[in-house]
Amino acid sequence: MATETTSKTDFSTDPNANKGMDFSTDAYLDMDLLRFLTCGSVDDGKSTLIGRLLYDSKSIFEDQLEAAESASLSRGDQRMDLALLTDGLRAEREQGITIDVAYRYFATPKRKFIIADCPGHTQYTRNMVTGASTANLALILIDARHGVIEQTRRHSFITSLLRIPHLVVCVNKMDLVDWSEETYDKIREEFEEFAARFEITDITFIPMSALTGDNVVNRSENMDWYQGTSLLHHLEHVHIAGDRDMIDPRFPVQWVVRPQGDEHHDYRGYGGQIASGVFQVGDEVVALPSGMESKIKSIDIGGDSQQMASPPMSVSIQLEDDIDISRGDMLCRPNNQPTSGQDIDAMVVWMAETPMKVGKKYTIRHTSNEARCIVKNLNYQLDIQTLHRIEEAQELKLNEIGRISIRTTKPLFFDPYRQCRVTGSFIIVDEQTNNTVGAAMIIGETN
Amino acid sequence: MTSATKKTGAHEHYRLTHLKALEAEAIHIMREVAAQFEKPALMFSGGKDSIVMVRLAQKAFRPAKFPFPLLHIDTGHNFPEALDFRDKMVDEIGERLIIHKVQDLIDRGDAVEDPGPFPSRNRAQIPTLLDAIEKYQFDALFGGARRDEEKARAKERIFSFRDDFGQWDPKNQRPELWNLYNGRSRMGENIRVFPISNWTEMDVWQYIMLEQIEIPDLYFSHKRDVVERRGQLVPIGDAPFGPRDGETVLNKTVRFRTVGDMSCTAATNSPASNLEEIVAEVAAARASERGARIDDKTNEAAMEDRKKEGYF
């Protein structure tokens, strides 16, 4: 193992290098990004938790705080409602509910964080799925007084369905159960029991009180029986670099960069974002669907060349040979190719008021490709509470989840969603309204 | 990033910093728009966010030209420095700039300046923008807005649909999943696209520093004539930006944290004269960036209301 370090990498390996919230310029330029999802309802203290993370990391400004304060007062509240900091739309403030996914940002000297803050109720499943699609980690809140409830199961299932690699179960409001280890253990056991049915590889449990701050940013003194880290410490240190697939090179071509002037007469770059795997100059590649092979001549970002590219970098790739490639095509390695096919099975979350009908035609967007498809079969609808398969289901309504078989008008180049979130996902678009009506995760070719 | 490519472990080798991850996302979005739309344009104001957008477009499309023009909605209330910078930059990058003037619409009677003690052309930008969309038949407009700026923005999609009247309906937004963007629209509808939605003010400054991007001098500390108005330092210039009755003109060392119209942008007391000092100042700041925008203070849902009318 190479031991080469620079002053910048010193920072990322030494936890004491930059205590507190004092950033150095180098630290800023060397942070990585963690996208996480919070799911829960108003009652379980989610807004308080987010408010605390933002406030303790100095991500809330005084004028924003003052605005929330004066809004609380003018509504006649006794104390400032932290939810006002996160509820953005007028209807939400008036009704005291969260309708849509809200994105929040904060940073510590370790990492930069993007929070997708999702409403908790069943009717907002589609919002949670939206937030989950890009998350590295999910935070599920459990009220220690109530333990695992139906909503906890639903959120855990969606986390598993969307294959969010890391899950943190926050057992909140521990102050209201006398910081009881027994209560915490019971909730933990109950959660582990039902979560065993899901494919969630990394689960961390943290007992906390968002209200008092115990185990949010600092370790709790009220729960000396808890040996783990605080939530923020966990968020800062959870290992996410290994979540990306570096083995299977996939490059969906998005845009062909072709200068018109004489100066770059011979330049023909294929622009796109690396979906998975690593591409290096000199690599042998094959273009799909043509099957033509060539070698990578150059990789650049805006004209600055580099030796290699890995996900999720957006680059332009030039090939040695002049072969016909356009948007929707895919570059991969000759000995490592995705499945090419028109008959596909997928789990779908329905997101529109108008139900999904078997036999109906839709447009789908998959990587940089667009195709039409027909829904050939609804294999079953999944009862999100019991995980029971309803095989007699005829349609999928808003927020319902099921396994479908589709046939597309042209071959798609895909991998199972479990292997690659980018080449394994597609959205379904209604051709009359142009709305995005479904989110689909590919299982594989239809048997 | 040389430090990110040093081999320190199996996956560390491919570690991507947050700025590079945000850059990659923005490039992807820009190329999606170029591919999915017939006539996009990039909103360019000469402010730091739109300058970063131009750099990102260079990353997405160079060595070719941009597949869209730049569009400036000229309010006539711009800082002269910002206009000079705009013209110099457009010349350097060799791209096409379309200027659409609020004044022309006011002269035609199609837009009015907000009267009152704080005359503003903020709302007059809306019909001007819609007029430009109609004249040039733009179907997609890139904007440099960020979700960290304001509460209503925090819930807006990256591809934000507008109806025939340019209106945003916050309750009827399309789900946006993975990196898949659905740009299908009907005739007359158009979209606003925000490639740097997920950037914070700090990210923008760091990116400017990392990429050594040139920005107008207004952002760095300088001596300027200002007056104190409603607790803010308001820049003083030629009419109609002169001092009001009873106001004393002060010459102070200030800089601008955000650059909008002269009529609605306040200066901050600051000695920060280079990017490192600005980054340090932003990190320590206790007031939000839009706190320097006088136009957002009108009421709690000011931005939400303007967006519903067609504002960016």
Interface of B with A in 155-194 (CB under 8 A): 155, 170-171, 173-182, 184-186
The confidence band for B306, taking pLDDT boundaries of 50, 70 and 90, is: low
Q: Which residues of B touch A258 (CB under 8 A)?
A: 64
Query: pLDDT of B197-221, one tens digit each?
Result: 999 988 999 999 999 999 999 999 9
Cα A166 to its chain centre, rounded Å, is: 10
Q: What is the CATH number of domain A250-332?
A: 2.40.30.10
CATH number of domain containing B172: 3.40.50.620
Q: Which residues of A touch B280 (CB under 8 A)?
A: 25
Kindly state whether residues B305 and B279 are assigned to the same domain: no
The confidence band for B62, taking pLDDT boundaries of 50, 70 and 90, is: very high
Does residue B152 belong to any structural domain of this protein? yes
Is residue A11 pLDDT above 60, yes or no?
A: no
Kindly state whether residues B94 and B232 are assigned to the same domain: no
**Residue B13, pLDDT score:** 57
Weakest-pLDDT range from A318-327, A433-442, B249-258: B249-258
**Residue B71, pLDDT score:** 96
Min Cα distance A155 → chain B (Å) is 17
Kindly state whether residues B76 and B198 are assigned to the same domain: yes
Is residue A7 pLDDT above 70, yes or no?
A: no
Closest CA to B193 of B144, B154, B242: B144
Does residue B37 belong to any structural domain of this protein? yes
**Residue B79, pLDDT score:** 86
With CA atoms as reference, the chain B residue closest to A100 would be B155
Does residue B24 belong to any structural domain of this protein? yes
Give the integer Cα–Cα distance in Å for A420 and A441. Answer: 10
Number of folded domains that form chain B: 2
Kindly state whether residues B172 and B241 are assigned to the same domain: no
Between B14, B64, B304, which is nearest A278 by CB? B14
Between A64, A99, A102, which is nearest B288 by CB? A64
Is residue A220 pLDDT above 80, yes or no?
A: yes
Reading the block at residue B217, the tokens are: 């001098």
The residues spanned by each domain of chain A are 31-243, 250-332, 339-445
Task: Phi first, then psi: give them for residue B204, nearest 5 degrees.
Answer: -60, -45
Q: Does B285 touch chain A (CB under 8 A)?
A: yes
Kindly state whether residues B145 and B7 are assigned to the same domain: yes
Does residue B208 belong to any structural domain of this protein? no
Is residue A172 pLDDT above 90, yes or no?
A: yes
Instruction: Provide the CATH topology of domain A31-243.
Output: Rossmann fold (3.40.50)
Q: Does B283 touch chain A (CB under 8 A)?
A: yes
Domain that holds residue B257: 215-296
A112 with B203: Cβ contact below 8 A: yes
Half-sphere exposure for A141 (CA within 13 Å, toward CB) = 26
Kindly state whether residues B158 and B246 are assigned to the same domain: no
Weakest-pLDDT range from B5-14, B118-127, B217-226: B5-14
Kindly state whether residues B42 and B189 are assigned to the same domain: yes
Helix (H/G/I), strand (E/B), else coil: B237: coil
Half-sphere exposure for A209 (CA within 13 Å, toward CB) = 17
* Span A271-290, average pLDDT: 96
Kindly state whether residues B198 and B221 are assigned to the same domain: no
Give the integer Cα–Cα distance in Å for B188 and B166. Answer: 9
Kindly state whether residues B264 and B305 are assigned to the same domain: no
Is residue B283 pLDDT above 60, yes or no?
A: yes
A436 with B175: Cβ contact below 8 A: yes
Does residue B209 belong to any structural domain of this protein? no
Residues B72 and B45 sit within 8 Å (Cβ to Cβ): yes
Give the integer Cα–Cα distance in Å for A266 and A122. Answer: 55
* Span B80-94, average pLDDT: 92
Q: Does domain A339-445 have CATH number 3.40.1280.10?
A: no
**Residue B1, pLDDT score:** 36
**Residue A285, pLDDT score:** 98
Does residue B157 belong to any structural domain of this protein? yes
Q: Does B121 touch chain A (CB under 8 A)?
A: no
* pLDDT above 90 coverage of chain A, percent: 63
Is residue A42 pLDDT above 70, yes or no?
A: no
B283 with A258: Cβ contact below 8 A: no
Q: In what order do the strands lie in the sheet with A202-207?
A: A102-107, A111-118, A32-39, A137-143, A166-172, A202-207
Kindly state whether residues B229 and B180 are assigned to the same domain: no
Q: Does B25 touch chain A (CB under 8 A)?
A: yes
Does residue B264 belong to any structural domain of this protein? yes
| Range of A352-361, B101-110, B111-120, B293-302 with top mean pLDDT | A352-361
Whole-Å CA distances, A414 to A220, A250, A312, A403, B228: 47, 9, 17, 17, 61
Reading the block at residue A92, the tokens are: 């939400």
Is residue B300 pLDDT above 70, yes or no?
A: no
* Mutation to test the B interface, candidates A244, A255, A264, A412, most B Cβ within 10 Å: A255
ipTM of the complex: 0.89
Residues A442 and A340 sit within 8 Å (Cβ to Cβ): no
Closest CA to A344 of A239, A274, A428, A262: A428
With CA atoms as reference, the chain A residue closest to B32 would be A254
Does A31-243 match A339-445 in CATH topology? Answer: no
Kindly state whether residues B53 and B145 are assigned to the same domain: yes
B64 with A67: Cβ contact below 8 A: no
* pLDDT above 90 coverage of chain B, percent: 38
Is residue A75 pLDDT above 50, yes or no?
A: yes
Kindly state whether residues B121 and B267 are assigned to the same domain: no
